[in-house]
Amino acid sequence: MRRDYLSRLSRAARWYLPPAEAAEVLEDYREIVAGRSEEELRRDLGTPRAAMRQLAQPKAYRRWLMVFGVLAACLALPMAMARNEIYWSPVINTAYMIFLSLGGALSLNCFRRNRNQGKRLPRGIVPLLALLLAGMAGVWFLAGLVLTESWELLNWLASAADLGWTIHLLLRLMILAMALIALCALVKSRLDDSRWCAVYILGLSGVILGLSFYLLMTSMNFYGFVPGWWRPHVIQYIVITLLGLLETGVALC
Amino acid sequence: MLKKDLLELCLLSLMAQGDQYGYELLRRLHAVFPDVQESAIYAILRGLCREGATERYQGETSGGPARKYYRLTEAGKARHAALLETWRETRDALTALGIE
């Protein structure tokens, strides 16, 4: 029971307090909670959340909430823009690159400064990175088939009549899954180990990559037979992928 | 004088008597003010530390986990004197009104 209280307290401390202060407070609380039942702890100390909220410095906590809000917005706003693409089309690709750069740079700045890790990567990071890489590879695969107009290779996926709809659905699901993984990783970066921000960054890159391709699929632009029409799109996807991989690597170091 | 100031005064007064073991400070104050949770007292103690009124250090131990002790700084002594003065004024004002 005491362990439950301590683990909840530990999560609350890491959410409300800067990492160094959270570690110091937890060290003190280990001594304070020793030998008491859950009931006594609740009576004498209050809920873990309330106990830690009292220690939070309003300015530092507001700053963290603002960083969290901006990083979450870097995931959510591109998706919201894609839903209303018609209003955003002249600036949407530039905006996507800004969200990707901002999300990557801000998370690296915020979490690498507070590095708290040991040598071993926390459990779960590697499988999730592999999953996100598979998602990005999936986007590349679909993009490759569409851009090279190799429609016949997609016949296994759906009938010709349903192909467009199926690709849209598949892309949406992949983007949503990558966004959810990235959001969870963002929370874990604060509560657990700062290297979880690598998962956030790769998830954000996957979302931006998926959305960029999704926009191409849903845009009303007709390229006809203009030779090399696909080139700017491929260059954009390469830049997104490389930037994402580079920042992920930096976050893991 | 707010209750928080009163708790601060108590913590500083205890430390003015000599260096104090942090956990013991919480237990003693909670015993006197049972309606105040130990977490609130701990928050005040940390606040005093953050403001530079107190400083903490690890005491010597024989085997067990290191104990953290708190002591007053010069700024803490000044804060203690100011709070004590406020307390005396408040007490005198109440006494003048016949409240004891």
Residues of chain A found within 8 Å of residue B42, distances taken between Cβ atoms: 28, 32, 51, 55
For residue B51, how many other CB atoms are within 10 A of its CB?
13
Of residues B26, B39, B65, nearest to A54 (C-beta): B39
Instruction: Compare B6 and A156 and report the one with higher pLDDT.
Output: B6
| Percent above pLDDT 90 for chain A | 45
Query: Given this model, what pLDDT does residue A158 score?
Result: 67
Substitution target in A5, A21, A25, A31 with the highest count of B β-carbons within 10 Å is A31
Report yes or no: A12 and A49 within 8 Å, Cβ to Cβ: yes
Tell whether B66 is within 8 A of chain A (Cβ). Answer: no
pLDDT, tens digit, 9 for 90 and up, residues A28-55: 888 888 878 888 888 888 899 999 998 9
CB contact under 8 A, B37 and A51: yes
CB contact under 8 A, A50 and B68: no
Q: Please state the rounded mean pLDDT for residues B71-82.
A: 94
Tell me: pLDDT of A2 over 60: no
Query: Given this model, what pLDDT does residue A204 score?
Result: 97
Q: Among A128, A112, A109, A137, which residue's Cα sits nearest to residue A206?
A: A137
- DSSP string of A95-137? HHHHHHHHHHHHHHHHHHTT----SSPPTTHHHHHHHHHHHHH
Mean per-residue pLDDT over chain B, rounded: 89
Query: Given this model, what pLDDT does residue A111 score?
Result: 87
Query: Given this model, what pLDDT does residue A127 score?
Result: 95
Of residues B22, B37, B40, nearest to A28 (C-beta): B22
| Percent above pLDDT 70 for chain A | 90
CB contact under 8 A, B37 and A46: yes
Substitution target in B39, B57, B70 with the highest count of A β-carbons within 10 Å is B39
Query: Given this model, what pLDDT does residue A222 score?
Result: 57
Q: Please state the rounded mean pLDDT for residues A225-244.
A: 86
Alpha-carbon distance values, A124 to A76, A88, A121 (Å) = 23, 36, 8
CB contact under 8 A, A28 and B68: yes
Q: Write the CATH number for B90.
A: 1.10.10.10
CA distance B42 to A48: 13
CA distance B64 to A216: 65
pLDDT, tens digit, 9 for 90 and up, residues A124-138: 899 999 999 999 999
- Say how far residue A114 (Cα) sits from the centre of its chain: 18
Query: Given this model, what pLDDT does residue A226 score?
Result: 73
Residues of chain A found within 8 Å of residue B46, distances taken between Cβ atoms: 25, 55
Query: Given this model, what pLDDT does residue B64 score?
Result: 67
Q: Range of B66's domain?
A: 3-96
- DSSP string of chain B? --HHHHHHHHHHHHHHTS-EEHHHHHHHHHHH-TTS-HHHHHHHHHHHHHTTSEEEEEPP-SSSPPPEEEEE-HHHHHHHHHHHHHHHHHHHHHHHTT--
DSSP-derived letter for residue A221 is -
Q: In chain B, how many domains are there?
A: 1
pLDDT, tens digit, 9 for 90 and up, residues A105-154: 999 998 876 665 667 888 889 999 999 999 999 999 988 888 887 777 77
